[in-house]
């Protein structure tokens, strides 16, 4: 019986095991999130040293044992070395991988999330969008992929359509019409700029391959960034270590 398998994926995290090995978590196209051992990957000169670093994207050859996978070979397509050379980008990438690790599961079809993570890392390399905006898009699209997209086509409370969008409810997850807004307590709604509404719609409805392709004014970007971060936090109710590092250490 041939126990060898081939997968395509991105390394999410790496943990030292014993004196020379690593335990690697990979988000894959074929099998969702998996863990595999890289034997000797911490020995000087080992061929798996560079290939088993966070954010590495490539084709992995694995040996399937009774209870675990072992990496035998890696054909790296992207090291994302540009990210490692910039401390701010590196912390953002660590955060993206942490969120991906939290949201994805073994055996699930995680192809869309793999695409999102890859696209976000490529956006960090290109640098055409600010890191803060890349993060906001990543967080909001994460919710969309997870089936928790905000309701933008109608009022989330009364389901009335056709009214110009103005108020957004984080708690209820979408647009609130002017009549329903009168019934809610002060502080329960956010009044959004028209460009923020368009950014919400764009992220929710655009293919991942074209997602990281717009810019916003500084004022609108901050509004959109704050909304995306709070929207994700309310949906997941989890504090990520990478998020704290970004807020404490990075310059943007």
pTM for this prediction? 0.94
Q: How far apart are CA 42 and CA 151, in angstroms?
A: 48
Tens-digit pLDDT profile for residues 128-159: 999 999 999 999 999 999 999 999 999 999 99
pLDDT in tens, 13-56: 999 999 999 999 999 999 999 999 999 999 999 999 999 999 99
Taking only the tens place, the pLDDT of each residue in 224-249 is: 999 999 999 999 988 899 988 898 87
Where helices occur in the chain by DSSP H, the ranges are 81-84, 87-103, 111-126, 131-145, 178-181, 194-205, 218-236, 241-249
Per DSSP, the residues of 180-217 read HHTTSPTTS-EE--HHHHHHHHHHHHS-GGGTS-----
Give the sign of the dihedral formed by CA 119, CA 120, CA 126, CA 130. Answer: positive
Residue linked to tokens 């923020």? 196
Domain 4-79 matching CATH 3.20.20.10: the answer reads no
Distance CA 29, CA 5 (A): 13
Question: For 93-135, how does the pLDDT look when each residue is reduced to its tens digit (9 = 90+)?
Answer: 999 999 999 999 998 999 999 999 999 999 999 999 999 999 9
The token pair at 106 is 């073994």
Q: Is 195 exposed, middle or buried (0-12, 13-18, 19+ CB in 10 A)?
A: middle
Domain ranges of the chain: 4-79, 82-150+186-249
CA pair distance 116, 29, nearest whole angstrom: 12
């Amino acid at each position: 019986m041939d126990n060898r398998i081939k997968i395509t994926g991105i390394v999410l995290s790496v943990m030292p095991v014993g004196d020379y090995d690593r335990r690697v978590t990979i988000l894959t196209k074929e099998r969702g999130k998996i863990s595999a051992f890289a034997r000797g990957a911490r020995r000087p000169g080992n061929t798996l040293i560079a290939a088993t670093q966070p954010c590495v994207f490539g084709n992995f050859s694995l040996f399937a044992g009774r209870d675990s996978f072992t990496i035998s070979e890696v054909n790296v397509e992207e090291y994302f070395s540009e990210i490692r050379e910039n401390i701010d980008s590196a912390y953002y990438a660590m955060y993206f991988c942490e969120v991906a690790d939290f949201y994805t599961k073994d055996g699930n079809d995680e192809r869309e999330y793999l695409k999102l993570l890859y696209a976000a890392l490529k956006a960090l390399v290109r640098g055409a969008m600010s890191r803060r905006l890349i993060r906001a898009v990543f967080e909001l699209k994460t919710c969309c992929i997870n089936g928790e997209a905000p309701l933008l086509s109608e009022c989330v409370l009364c389901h009335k359509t056709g009214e110009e969008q103005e108020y957004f409810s984080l708690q209820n997850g979408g647009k609130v019409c002017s009549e329903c807004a009168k019934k809610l307590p002060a502080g329960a709604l956010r009044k959004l700029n028209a460009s923020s509404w368009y950014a919400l719609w764009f992220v929710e409805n655009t293919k991942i391959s074209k997602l990281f392709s717009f810019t916003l004014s500084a004022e609108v970007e901050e509004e959109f960034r704050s909304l995306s971060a709070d929207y994700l936090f309310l949906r997941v109710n989890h504090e990520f270590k990478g998020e704290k590092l970004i807020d404490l250490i990075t310059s943007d």
